[in-house]
Structure 1
């Protein structure tokens, strides 16, 4: 355990206890913080309070959170669409709805669980929870993801990502009609100060650049291809929302009234990188999900 303390500031005066604590613990969700409060791991001026307690300027918050139990990641017999595989690398076309690796809220059913059943040997650089995982795509984003099968491959792929030589092209259906053919969004991304569960374009955020071009226009929507120059959390979703063309079906950043889509219309369509051992350039392209195809056909009528 590690004891943490915080004196409530003037800006935090009258804020809920769980909201203040969530802002102070970036890796914790609001629900996790509420569980800490309920389990009496948190005190205010030495006494236990409820999550909805309104903090007063000068209150002393103390929280002593037990270390999480180490999780064991088990192989699971889950179908996985392997596009390419050799002794160094696997490229998978991930379905919408699948989490990439286990976490506190998703202990099973992830791509890592499926891959451990499929091939057993994945790189260990990212630890037991994220074996082989060099980059991620969101749970509700479908498409191509590369996974390292050994540490040498992992190091090579991570360096390519850092050097911005990996080609990643996404296709997204966004709200509204974009009238120009091409665009570049260069806007820093960080945690949204108003909602700690979201990312946003914020001053002092991490450098983030997204290039896009229009593939098709409809009466009230636009189909775009997005190319990532950087790889920030929720980058395309945040950037498209920033230019007031949010992705259709996006539960965090998208429009409230939207098309009948089960989740966001974002697909990691193309992936290209240099093979870690041979140096050969590998390029992969994937079909759009059937659900998105049907929506596009309907919009074309």
Structure 2
């Protein structure tokens, strides 16, 4: 059960509970409205109306958990859980798995397995994805267990407190050991899946560092400063080092891997309750290890 508990400070006295929750705790209007309607906002153990005026040392409690349903089929799945607390679940997604159901992938998605896990462990949560990965990209996916955690982490993704790092196997020997790709990414048409580097696009920044290299391939670590669709794949392809196995931005006839050799291996983000930094990492999957050893 996830609960926010706070004690009113002297300088906060005189605020309505609505303004305190919105301006001092940063809760969204939607969350406050829903919590108030369900009687999940209490002061000193008693449910209060939103015009209640707080006093110094009042004990404020907001119950975040609530009855929720989601139109996703629950499906037993062997999840690789990296981290979990009462607000978030972090899993290591394998390649060839879609994050969330679509018309063409109703079952077999990460969300199907996560919802089953929540039910089996007695957690009344729906699947709120904080980040998503392409079907053929493996690695860390963060799921928020409640509306507040999702809102908090979505905001955190817009600033420097949220870091995402990837590892990729790319074609060719990288000339520089490290650098920054500051190249705008543009979607040519509304129905286009593929993106391109174009001055008309949004500013997109990717930092990279070469870990290992040979004449044929390089193992590269990448950190996103912005989060555009296909950003890493577009940037690397544009500079002449496409990701191995990338059928959309890669080299025609590349059959070294059945998928793009891209893995979200590390994240760093603030805990929704304490704001303490959580740092997590996972190893590259076996298919990337095997290719690296072979080449």
Which residue number corresponds to residue 96 of structure 1?
95
**Partner SS, residue 75 of structure 1:** coil
Gaps of 5+ in 2: 1-69
Query: Superposition pairs for residues 17-36 of structure 1, below 5 Å?
Result: none
Q: Shift of the alpha carbon at 1:150? A: 0.5
Q: Shift of the alpha carbon at 1:298? A: 1.1
Are 1:136 and 2:132 counterparts?
A: yes
Q: 1:154 aligns with which of 150, 153, 166?
A: 150
- Cα distance in 2 between the residues matched to 1:194 and 1:241: 21
- Cα distance in 2 between the residues matched to 1:140 and 1:155: 27
Q: Shift of the alpha carbon at 1:195? A: 7.8
Q: Which stretches of structure 1, 4 residues or longer, exceed 3 Å deviation after superposition?
A: 120-124, 192-195
- Cα distance in 1 between the residues matched to 2:200 and 2:80: 39
- Cα distance in 2 between the residues matched to 1:255 and 1:196: 19
Which residue number corresponds to residue 197 of structure 1?
193
**Are the counterparts in 2 of residues 170 and 227 from structure 1 also a CA contact under 8 Å?**
yes
**Partner SS, residue 157 of structure 2:** helix
**Are the counterparts in 2 of residues 122 and 132 from structure 1 also a CA contact under 8 Å?**
no
Provide the alpha-carbon RMSD of the alignment: 1.8
Are 1:286 and 2:288 counterparts?
A: no
Per-residue Cα deviation, 1:173-196 (whole angstroms, up to 9, x for no partner): 111111211111111112134981
Are 1:77 and 2:76 counterparts?
A: yes
**Are the counterparts in 2 of residues 99 and 139 from structure 1 also a CA contact under 8 Å?**
yes
Query: Superposition pairs for residues 34-73 of structure 1, below 5 Å?
Result: 72-73=71-72
TM-score (norm 1): 0.70
Aligned residues: 223
Which residue number corresponds to residue 251 of structure 2?
255
Query: Superposition pairs for residues 109-120 of structure 1, below 5 Å?
Result: 109-120=108-119
Pick closer, same or farther for the CA change 1:150–1:122 going to 2, 3 Å.
farther
- Cα distance in 2 between the residues matched to 1:195 and 1:108: 25
Are 1:297 and 2:293 counterparts?
A: yes
Q: Shift of the alpha carbon at 1:218? A: 1.3
Which residue number corresponds to residue 50 of structure 2?
none
Gaps of 5+ in 1: 1-70, 125-130
Which residue number corresponds to residue 235 of structure 1?
231
TM-score (norm 2): 0.72
Which residue number corresponds to residue 45 of structure 1?
none
Q: Shift of the alpha carbon at 1:258? A: 2.6
Which residue number corresponds to residue 13 of structure 2?
none
**Partner SS, residue 83 of structure 1:** strand
**Are the counterparts in 1 of residues 168 and 261 from structure 2 also a CA contact under 8 Å?**
yes
**Are the counterparts in 1 of residues 246 and 261 from structure 2 also a CA contact under 8 Å?**
yes
**Partner SS, residue 153 of structure 1:** helix
**Are the counterparts in 2 of residues 164 and 230 from structure 1 also a CA contact under 8 Å?**
no
**Are the counterparts in 2 of residues 87 and 149 from structure 1 also a CA contact under 8 Å?**
yes
